[in-house]
């Protein structure tokens, strides 16, 4: 497992559908060591802090393996690393091999998985397509967020080491799975709120 690319971007004003707004989804690969702090990477910021960023979503990661799928699905898109707004493009690290609370060491930084990535309309803006959000969700290729346990420096090409892995023991039913999820300390607060709401609906 390794980091394929480290990508950063600052908020900028864009025009889309006749409206202007701030977004930091346009990220570019950067060479050399990049410092990861508690809230973001050096040279990187989030535009809308009501839905992005914060300690629980300090670093966004997306598997490089998914790019082949998207190149087939969207052959006209000008793909480059960071196209999905991710800070870390990874190899060998995917959702089906990770659990909430897993910790990884990259360079001198230690990061913890906190939640899957949920897209907002900025992804549709990035790809200039209204159906991109639905396409992204139905693909099952979400990517994930990290919080920062130990700040440090990371570089493209560095090894990713899982230093603390949470075993998934399975669940006997849907409500059991939701109950286990909300009791996971590492799960972000926004996802706990969402899952608790789903559990209440399922119990009615």
Q: Give the residue among 70, 102, 108, 103 at the shortest CA–CA distance from 86.
A: 70
Beta bridge partners of 112: 103, 147
Helix (H) / strand (E) containing 19: strand 19-23
Q: Give the residue among 138, 153, 174, 141 at the shortest CA–CA distance from 43.
A: 153
Q: pTM score, two decimals?
A: 0.82
Token pair of 146, please? 């990290």
Q: Are strands 88-91 and 19-23 parallel, antiparallel or unpaired?
A: unpaired
- DSSP labels for 92-114? S--GGG--TT-EEEETTEEEEEE
Helix (H) / strand (E) containing 197: helix 189-203
Domains and CATH numbers, the chain: 2-167 (2.40.33.20), 169-204 (no CATH)
204 residues of the chain, pLDDT tens digit each: 999 999 999 988 887 777 777 888 999 999 989 999 999 999 998 877 777 778 899 999 999 999 999 999 999 999 999 999 999 999 999 988 888 899 999 999 999 999 888 888 888 888 988 899 999 999 989 999 999 999 999 999 999 999 988 755 444 445 566 666 667 777 777 767 776 776 665 555
What is the rounded distance in angstroms from the CA atom of residue 15 to the CA atom of residue 119? 19
């Amino acid at each position: 497992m390794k980091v394929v690319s480290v990508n950063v971007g600052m908020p900028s004003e864009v025009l889309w559908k006749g409206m202007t707004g701030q977004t930091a989804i346009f990220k570019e690969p950067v060479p050399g060591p990049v410092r990861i702090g508690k809230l973001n990477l050096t040279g990187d910021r989030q535009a809308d802090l009501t839905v992005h960023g914060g300690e629980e979503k300090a670093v966004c990661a997306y598997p490089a393996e998914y790019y082949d799928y998207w190149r087939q699905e969207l052959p006209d898109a000008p793909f480059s690393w960071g196209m999905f707004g991710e800070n870390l493009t990874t190899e060998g690290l995917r959702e089906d091999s990770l659990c909430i609370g897993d910790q990884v060491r990259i360079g001198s930084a230690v990061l913890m998985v906190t939640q899957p990535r949920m897209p907002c309309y900025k992804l549709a803006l990035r790809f200039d397509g209204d159906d991109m959000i639905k396409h992204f969700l139905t693909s099952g290729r979400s990517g994930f967020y990290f919080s920062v346990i130990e700040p440090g420096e990371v570089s493209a090409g560095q090894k990713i080491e899982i230093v603390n892995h949470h075993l998934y023991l399975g669940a006997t039913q849907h409500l059991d799975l939701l109950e286990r999820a909300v009791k996971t300390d590492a799960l972000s607060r926004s996802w706990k709120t969402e899952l608790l709401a789903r559990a209440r609906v399922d119990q009615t």
